[in-house]
Amino acid sequence: MMLDNLLAPLRHLGHSSINAIWKLGMMSRFLLAILAHSGQSLLRFQLTIREVYFAGVLSLIIIVVSGLFVGMVLGLQGYNTLSRFGSADALGALVALSLLRELGPVLAALLFASRSGSAMTAEIGLMKATEQLEAMSVMAVDPVARVVAPRFWAGVISMPILAALFNVMGIFGGYLVGVVMIGLDEGTFWSQMQNNVDLHSDVINGLIKSLFFGIAVTLIAVFEGFDATPTAAGVSSATTRTVVTSALVILALDFVLTAFMF
């Protein structure tokens, strides 16, 4: 009895580890199932286009506005720090490099996870709770092919586009603060940027990052929706899990990708 009490925390730890690994395995199998059913959903591309509209187009506003403000803040803070060392000329390079390499892909992915990922989870979870997915199966329509795969591909397509747009808006924000507001020389701003930004190692690598984030976020979102307990409380906790897990995975994945790339 005494021993049982002592071992309880260990048992708890073991249980949650097994659960985590089990979930990881389920998620990998789910990814394989999505890929296996992708052919069908790519043939009926209209479904994917519809989901691109809901996941990508409707995220435009939040991406544009946050990108602009992040760029403006970078411009202000960067100018304050750089001008102490007499190198305010490098502001363009600072803004562009921090956005392209880290902030653009990461922040766009975080916004995408909370805006579109949570919506996907809630939608699929509610479909499950109201037994729509089972109804599809009864009608010999595979819910993975009809519901999940189009959403997955829509997320994978939308994420790099949103990240690129975030970068552009951020650089424009930095330009607004640096050149229009503070009055740095416009030519120096752009030429410093162009001298220090490399197409392959900065622009392309940033987009590759956002592609990985797109895959991770959308996979988590559709899996949590599909895996949700079919009750109101289950759907709500699945939505929360999507946002939390996505945020953690994005940041961890960012570290790994950065270590590999730069």
Partner 1 sequence: MKRSIIDLWVGIFVAIGLASVTFLALKVANLTPQGDNNSYTLIAEFDNIGGLKVKAPVKSSGVVVGRVSNIELDTQRYVARATLTLNDQYHFSRDTSAEILTAGLLGEQYVGLVQGGEEENLKPGDRVQLTSSALVLEQLIGKFMTSFAEGNNKAAAADAAAAETAP
- The residues in 151-210 that bind partner 1, with binding defined as CB under 8 A, are 158, 160-162, 164-165, 167-168, 171, 190, 193-195, 197-199, 202-203, 207
Position 100 contacts partner 1 (CB under 8 A): yes
DSSP 3-state percent helix, strand, coil across the chain (nearest 5): 90, 0, 10
Position 81 contacts partner 1 (CB under 8 A): no
Position 261 contacts partner 1 (CB under 8 A): no
Size of the site for partner 1 (CB under 8 A): 32
- For residue 43, give both structure tokens: 């043939």
Position 53 contacts partner 1 (CB under 8 A): yes
Position 52 contacts partner 1 (CB under 8 A): yes
What sign does the CA torsion over 171, 152, 54, 41 have? positive
Q: How many CB atoms lie within 10 A of CB 194?
A: 11
- For residue 83, give both structure tokens: 């001008």
Position 245 contacts partner 1 (CB under 8 A): no
Position 123 contacts partner 1 (CB under 8 A): no
Find the binder of partner 1 among 16, 17, 28, 87 (CB under 8 A): 87
Find the binder of partner 1 among 11, 15, 29, 50 (CB under 8 A): 50
* 257/254 Cα distance (integer angstroms): 5
- Judge contact between 153 and 42, C-beta under 8 A: yes
User: Taking the complex as a whole, how short is the minimal distance between the CB of residue 240 and partner 1, in angstroms?
Assistant: 28
Position 56 contacts partner 1 (CB under 8 A): yes
- Judge contact between 122 and 239, C-beta under 8 A: yes
Segment contacting partner 1 by CB under 8 A, of 5-13, 55-63, 128-136, 176-184: 55-63
- Judge contact between 183 and 254, C-beta under 8 A: no
